[in-house]
Amino acid sequence: MSVRPQPEITTLEEYEALPEDSRAEVFDGQLFYLASPSRTHQAILLQLASLLSSYVRTKQGDCEVLPAPFDVKLSDSPLTIVQPDIMIICDKHKLGENRCNGAPDFVIEIVSPGNAADDYIRKLYYYKTYGVREYWIVDPKRRTVIVNDFESDLLNVPYSFDSVIKVHIYEDLYINFAEIAEQLGL
């Protein structure tokens, strides 16, 4: 959940100087602090990250699944840093110890009540602009998953929580949201 923007941050060094327990994102040099996520948010994150991680391990490829908080620097100028809820990075050269430098291949954001516009509008723009291949918006309140497959120009394709949804960056990966919703009591 984003809250009121703070004074402009112009350098990566200033961002890195924030207290370690700070959760923040930077859009075009403007800092936004993030609120703690809800229990439902975290339960969905854990289920999805586990499914994706298990799949990636079976493929024994170069991709890595990382959950938040982990920084993704999309741009140096203007400085743009995000913390996707879940991401898959297939180019290991982008991964440093403290951040991903460049766009992940796949991103999932789980909507929190106070930040819907961030996920549906702001992050959609930045992820598409900076080269994310596929972006999902999981909305527990609406019980929907919006799929954006940027490589195929498929934008804002809605699914309900009772759907089985294809992960387009892989040939054979499908996520059954009905099972997730049932396991979590959603």
Domain edges within the chain: 2-184
The predicted structure's pLDDT at residue 163? 96
Four-residue CA torsion sign, 112, 129, 82, 84: positive
Provide the pLDDT for residue 113: 77
Question: What is the structure's pLDDT at 126?
Answer: 97
3-state secondary structure of 36: coil
CATH number assigned to the domain covering 2-184: 3.90.1570.10
Mean pLDDT by 10 residues, the chain (186 residues): 59 90 91 90 97 94 94 95 97 95 98 84 96 97 96 96 96 95 88
pTM score above 0.75: yes
What CA–CA distances, in Å, run from 126 to 33, 60, 103, 129, 131?
17, 30, 10, 5, 8
Instruction: Specify the pLDDT at position 3.
Output: 55
